[in-house]
Structure 1
């Protein structure tokens, strides 16, 4: 793959400095150097320490990425919300794990994406999953289609620059229309899977807005300002309002949904490859829609 920039600086700088300014990491430069890639200045091969003086066209050619043989292939379909050369955004259904685990080795979203790549005969078959959802949470999952795109997203995640919005239905009535849940999260002492709020946990911040009040439950729009495991589920459970259907965190059952009422509905991030902010939406799944419709207040 080829990525090209114009050097508009007049102050001399090394090629690797310009590349770093555009998000190229040292690890990616090593792959380019040692695994069949190239760096070109005005279409002439150079080293990363080559000095630029201004006005040059700098091109980075990355090597093809061979898929991991340890990741199985699934031919089950995926629901694509957006795709271009650099990113694939998928609407994950509830009940499908994001990545393989011991109990779920071959039927995860990552397996399906690998199958899609192979069927489309993509040169790069490495599955770079950059955002994940719990198995029973539905909605948007972002895949980078090459190493460079993955490193761009990793940088935005570490800087908390990516904006993810969820829709959740929590138990009870939230009295304030807008609020913050700010409590450190760490592992629960009695479980490998479960998390809890604890003083020695990692800082965790969740923001919410009330969308609609139902019978004994509230629909909320939620933004994560940090990305802890089970963060939304843990924070609302700790506040006394566990998600409907969330058995792990004490959420009440409801006949209209058989999993936690949580859906990643919007993803927004800055895409340097198209020089714009990319915003994607995932429609509300049928079970969450039924839950909301059948629990309307009498006067709503």
Structure 2
């Protein structure tokens, strides 16, 4: 049992296949959205057990060790409806399709209690699925703060489960537009490179040996003097996948302050836009297809690049 009496949000169990060194480092590589410092805190609080026993951060995991990670519920955050303008492309009794603006955080978290997409959803949409709890009602998948474009929202739990299954089996098709540095010589390609946390910076991700399978497909839509416009489709959906993959092939996204160069196009973040989505409606079984035009800043950058080419 855990040392503390806090409510547990999730329990993760792992069986270690081979000897793998320090447990904090091993788990940081295995758990995509958890930093090494967070893992060390869980260990200190005896929320991580090995073979039902508490351990220290320097414990070296061995083949066939059984690891149990108990993740406490987050500190309560008051999520209130806010009358924030929201572009709802489509809505019925089961789903909504939203065109998220650049600069909007998807759901509340530390430092972002207000002004998020969830705050806006609670004002504009009466019913939202509760599978992800009070902090993320209706949220099936996410976009980075500075990525604009289409998000699919579930309005009940049955729709949420079926949409999540389509993400898992890769039948939901998502295509993004990205302005990248450099001029690609080939018209299309596939990037098949595993992604994990960057060992030099735990807040970032990178292509690493032993990372999670990550596959992106791209095709060139337009070429300019020093930039290209790409359409990128996701086969997997890792954190920062498109941004990491395009950096990996040396065509980083313009405006990306984390993975791109400082000398870039003027804007409010990376020029990455979730342009289209295609999925099966969770109730009717009909094929649904939606598109969202790029925001004005993105379109303005394209017009300038065309004039300069």
The two structures have a TM-score, normalised by structure 1, of 0.72
1:241 alignment partner, one of 226, 251, 254: 251
CA apart distance, 1:99: 1.0
1:169–1:217 CA contact under 8 A, matched in 2: yes
Q: Does 1:131 align with 2:144?
A: no
Q: Does 1:230 align with 2:247?
A: no
1:214–1:297 CA contact under 8 A, matched in 2: no
* Aligned counterparts of 1:134 and 1:112: Cα–Cα separation in 2: 17
* Aligned counterparts of 2:282 and 2:114: Cα–Cα separation in 1: 33
- 1:97 aligned partner: 105
Q: Unaligned regions of 5+ residues in structure 1, if any?
A: 1-67
2:94–2:282 CA contact under 8 A, matched in 1: no
- Sort the Cα spacing of 1:170 and 1:69 in 2 relative to 1 into closer, same or farther, 3 A: closer
Q: Unaligned regions of 5+ residues in structure 2, if any?
A: 1-75, 131-136
- 1:270 aligned partner: 280
- 1:81 aligned partner: 89
How many residues get paired? 228
* Aligned counterparts of 1:81 and 1:251: Cα–Cα separation in 2: 34
* Aligned counterparts of 1:292 and 1:123: Cα–Cα separation in 2: 38
- Sort the Cα spacing of 1:280 and 1:242 in 2 relative to 1 into closer, same or farther, 3 A: same
Q: Does 1:107 align with 2:126?
A: no
* Aligned counterparts of 1:271 and 1:165: Cα–Cα separation in 2: 18
CA-to-aligned-CA distance 1:204-223 (integer Å, 9 cap, x gap): 00000100001201000010
* Aligned counterparts of 1:155 and 1:175: Cα–Cα separation in 2: 37
* Aligned counterparts of 1:254 and 1:212: Cα–Cα separation in 2: 18
- 1:23 aligned partner: none
- Sort the Cα spacing of 1:149 and 1:215 in 2 relative to 1 into closer, same or farther, 3 A: same
2:129–2:138 CA contact under 8 A, matched in 1: no
CA-to-aligned-CA distance 1:111-154 (integer Å, 9 cap, x gap): 1101213xxxx355742111210000000111100000000011
- Sort the Cα spacing of 1:235 and 1:123 in 2 relative to 1 into closer, same or farther, 3 A: closer
Mean alpha-carbon deviation: is it higher for 160-169 or for 73-82? 73-82
CA-to-aligned-CA distance 1:59-96 (integer Å, 9 cap, x gap): xxxxxxxxx98422221121101101100111000000
- CA RMSD between the two structures: 1.8
The two structures have a TM-score, normalised by structure 2, of 0.70
- 2:207 aligned partner: 197
CA apart distance, 1:254: 3.5
2:291 alignment partner, one of 242, 265, 281: 281
Q: Secondary structure at the match of 1:295?
A: helix
Q: Secondary structure at the match of 2:242?
A: helix
Q: Secondary structure at the match of 1:90?
A: strand
- 2:67 aligned partner: none
- Sort the Cα spacing of 1:235 and 1:105 in 2 relative to 1 into closer, same or farther, 3 A: same
- Sort the Cα spacing of 1:207 and 1:298 in 2 relative to 1 into closer, same or farther, 3 A: same
- 2:185 aligned partner: 175
